[in-house]
Amino acid sequence: MNERPTGITANKTKRELTLTWSDGHESAYPFGLLRAACPCAACRGGHENMQAEPDDSVFSADLPDSLETRLVNVRAVGSYAISIAWEDGHDYGIYNWHYLRALCPCEEHHGKA
């Protein structure tokens, strides 16, 4: 899949990051899901535990509103990903488009890439 988003919107009131994809699909990611699925080596327990796609455990993570789930900033990483900065200072995860599409919590795309 070579999809990429055409729009990215952060809604801090709803605590959601919404990506509109080039095929017209919208993915609304709760901040807690994005933090639970952070793809960085520190969150995954080392480079050997990093995965190409998120596993299903991130969909059952219940992260309350806290410093670690309050979004501060989203920035582009080249033309292939975004990096998210959280209020607790964590900003190491690089969420590439393939990973985010696989992470889409909707029924249509959950777990598909």
- 12-23: pLDDT as tens digits: 999 999 999 999
pLDDT 10s digits, 27-47: 999 999 999 899 988 887 766
- Domains of the chain and CATH, by start: 5-103 (3.30.2020.30)
Amino acid 1: pLDDT? 53
The percent of residues in the chain predicted with pLDDT above 90, rounded, is: 60
Residue-level pLDDT at 48: 64
> What's this model's pTM, rounded to 2 decimal places?
0.83
Work out the number of other CB atoms within 10 angstroms of the CB of residue 15.
Answer: 17
3-state secondary structure of 96: strand
Provide the Cα torsion 35, 36, 40, 44; round to 10°. 160
Residues 19 and 11: their CA atoms lie apart, in Å, by: 11
Nearest Cα neighbor of 78 from 104, 91, 96 is 96
